[in-house]
Structure 1
Amino acid sequence: MSTSNHTGVSHTVFHLLGIPGLEDQHMWISIPFVISYVIALLGNSLLIFIILTKQTLHGPMYLFLCMLAAADIVLSTSTIPQMLAIFWFNAGEISLDCCITQLFFLHSTFVSESGILLVMAFDRYVAICYPLRYTSILTDSLIGKIAVTIFLRSYGTIIPIIFLLKRLTFCKSNILPNTGCKHIVLAHVSCDDIRVNIWYGFFVLMSTVVLDLVLIFVSYVLILHAVFRIPSQHARHKALNTCGSHICVIILFYGPGIFTTLTQRFGRHIAPHIHILLSDVCILIPPMMNPLIYGVKTKEIRHQVLHVLCRKKK
């Protein structure tokens, strides 16, 4: 990982290639990127507007959903405009500081979304297992503390990556074969030893995303245990239905990420552009689908969306 070819010259400007090997297809590839970005912006903005303006939707579940929608907007906006600039104008030039800023928001927002999905699982656990104490447990004060904790955790775990990158000398190359700046992608063009970066990245992944996924799984084991003890079949169905949207969002968020990690680990024979496309799917799909899922499956939100749209038509 270290090299004797250390020239002492460190690049401060890099060039993102987009999707190497598919340069002639960039214009066509950009179409689903544009569609997903527009849907993500409009859908999540509408969701936030409805939740914040409707007093009846100021419950814990909807406030957590509002946080998720805000994180989706940040995740999309920190990455997709850069991708489109590469696809449309071949504008892949980016400074080191901008590159580090982009990867900071990308990684910290991803960790934040994972934390929000965990507290949404906790919300469903309290709603099903302790329905009579729901509002007394999930008070506004506790929700505020949870929100602060989520964002402090995400920023606190990602900020050290800035210093780990700043210490490196980027003399190997200034070409980044990707659609955006990512921690290890940038570290790999350094001439220095990057083992600390690799191990710290692994630590962040295990202590945040993987830990959250394990705790979500435990929450749903407890939820299912409580649900199947309910004597009424109708009540069981109603309880499970309240978890449907959240389960769909969990699968969309963690599923592509797990699949991408497995292909990168075991699919060394797979072409590099496939790895990049799979990685981009993790950024494209959740922000686009989350508002659609909650808009379709949550009756209160669906009614409010229809009310807003019908009022605008009049």
Structure 2
Amino acid sequence: MPLTNGTVTLSSFILMGLPGMEAAQFWLAFPLCAVYVVAVVGNCAVMSIVKAEPALHVPMYFFLCMLAAVDLALSTVTIPKILSFFWFGAREIGYKACLVQMFLIHSLSGAESTILLAMAVDRYVAICHPLQHSAILTNSKTAKIGFVAVARGVVFFLPFPFLINRLTFCGSSVLTHSYCVHQDVMNLACGNRMPNIVYGLTAILAVMGLDSLLIFMTYLMILKTVLQLDSRQERIRASGTCVAHVCVVLAFYVPLIGLSVVHRFGRDLPPLVHITMGNVYLLLPPVLNPLVYAAKTKEIRRRAQKSLRRA
């Protein structure tokens, strides 16, 4: 349903492609499609391997399945629309569709942040309190944490569409990304944006900001415990169990922080910078996460190799 304001009737937004590279967008969509296929196949493979292998039915791998499911949903919410834009010139996205996509992107990102924190806590308990790990992190508690992750993302980011809906739009409807996010849509409004700015910053800090701080503190405690181990071999083995998770955390938070900084302080930067940061934020974690865990986790790697040999 169109949004009507004093000077304009807004029924859709216009997505931004790659400024100065419009002629190449059609061909760039092919590697983008390949990346999407890798993300889908990789994350589906992780979930199916964990499901098929009873030995992997432990909290660490259940969290990994949750992460794969969120990454799969996040890439599916955005990449097909970008491909339709690049291949078929479908630049418009309906007003309601934009709000739905915006909510899903932010809520799924919030859920992923919570799962990454839960995985850090799992590593802390496994390294610092190994004898109590099975009692502290049971499978039922893991399932509850997964529910909390989804609920937390929904609760904190559900107000975003309503905050956008109260704004007036009287200028351009061209977004600076190939998908809808709160900061981008908000910047097109000409009404009072202060509630959006305050709540948007509060939600990001309360979810991603708090989670990243807690993950950092958790790894400080892990590092302290690892350094107190007697043998060098034990220290290497203990720290090695965290390498994959650290890579995944960096792949999620570094682009997120970069994109937030660009949105808040980089309005004078070329549009291509915004587009590049936005695409890295969306594409990097779903593709990288299954590859990192496949490379660093022997059980998943062996099962994947077994499946490939059978095929």
TM-score when scaled to structure 1?
A: 0.93
Matched letter for residue 63 of structure 2: F
Contact map agreement 1:15 1:92 (CA 8 A) in 2:
yes
In the alignment, structure 1 segments of 5+ residues that lack a partner are 1-5
Using the alignment, how far apart are the partners of 1:207 and 1:266 within structure 2? 20
Matched letter for residue 212 of structure 2: L
> How is 1:82-101 mapped onto 2 (pairs within 5 angstroms)?
82-101=81-100
Using the alignment, how far apart are the partners of 2:302 and 2:236 within structure 1? 21
- Equivalent residue for 2:206? 207
Instruction: Summarize deviations over 1:152-183 as a string: whole Å, max 9, x none.
Output: 11000111112111222333233323201111
Matched, 1:130 2:129: yes
Matched letter for residue 83 of structure 2: L
> How is 1:1-314 mapped onto 2 (pairs within 5 angstroms)?
7-265=6-264, 267=266, 269-312=268-311
Distance 1:269 1:187, change over 3 A: closer
Contact map agreement 1:17 1:86 (CA 8 A) in 2:
no
Matched letter for residue 79 of structure 2: I
Matched letter for residue 84 of structure 1: L
- Equivalent residue for 1:3? none
Shift of 1:28: 3.5
Using the alignment, how far apart are the partners of 1:269 and 1:183 within structure 2? 19
In the alignment, structure 2 segments of 5+ residues that lack a partner are none
Using the alignment, how far apart are the partners of 1:264 and 1:165 within structure 2? 16
Distance 1:242 1:146, change over 3 A: same
Contact map agreement 2:102 2:161 (CA 8 A) in 1:
no
Say which SS state the counterpart of residue 181 (structure 1) adopts: coil
Instruction: Summarize deviations over 1:76-97 as a string: whole Å, max 9, x none.
Output: 0011111111111110222111
Using the alignment, how far apart are the partners of 1:218 and 1:177 within structure 2? 35
Contact map agreement 1:45 1:69 (CA 8 A) in 2:
yes
Shift of 1:34: 1.4
Greater mean alpha carbon deviation, residues 242-251 or residues 18-27: 18-27
CA RMSD of aligned residues (A): 1.6
Using the alignment, how far apart are the partners of 1:204 and 1:90 within structure 2? 34
Say which SS state the counterpart of residue 79 (structure 1) adopts: helix
Contact map agreement 2:177 2:275 (CA 8 A) in 1:
yes
Matched letter for residue 104 of structure 2: F
Contact map agreement 1:13 1:94 (CA 8 A) in 2:
yes
Say which SS state the counterpart of residue 14 (structure 1) adopts: strand
Contact map agreement 1:18 1:180 (CA 8 A) in 2:
no
Using the alignment, how far apart are the partners of 1:224 and 1:32 within structure 2? 39
Shift of 1:219: 0.3
Shift of 1:205: 1.0
Using the alignment, how far apart are the partners of 1:268 and 1:175 within structure 2? 14
Shift of 1:301: 0.6
Greater mean alpha carbon deviation, residues 254-263 or residues 202-211: 254-263
Greater mean alpha carbon deviation, residues 167-176 or residues 258-267: 258-267
Aligned length: 307
Distance 1:116 1:309, change over 3 A: same
Using the alignment, how far apart are the partners of 1:244 and 1:188 within structure 2? 38
Matched letter for residue 272 of structure 2: H
Say which SS state the counterpart of residue 242 (structure 2) adopts: helix
Greater mean alpha carbon deviation, residues 39-48 or residues 12-21: 12-21
Instruction: Summarize deviations over 1:129-170 as a string: whole Å, max 9, x none.
Output: 111111111012211211111111100011111211122233
Say which SS state the counterpart of residue 224 (structure 1) adopts: helix
Say which SS state the counterpart of residue 9 (structure 2) adopts: coil
Distance 1:160 1:260, change over 3 A: closer
Matched letter for residue 74 of structure 1: A
Contact map agreement 1:36 1:285 (CA 8 A) in 2:
no
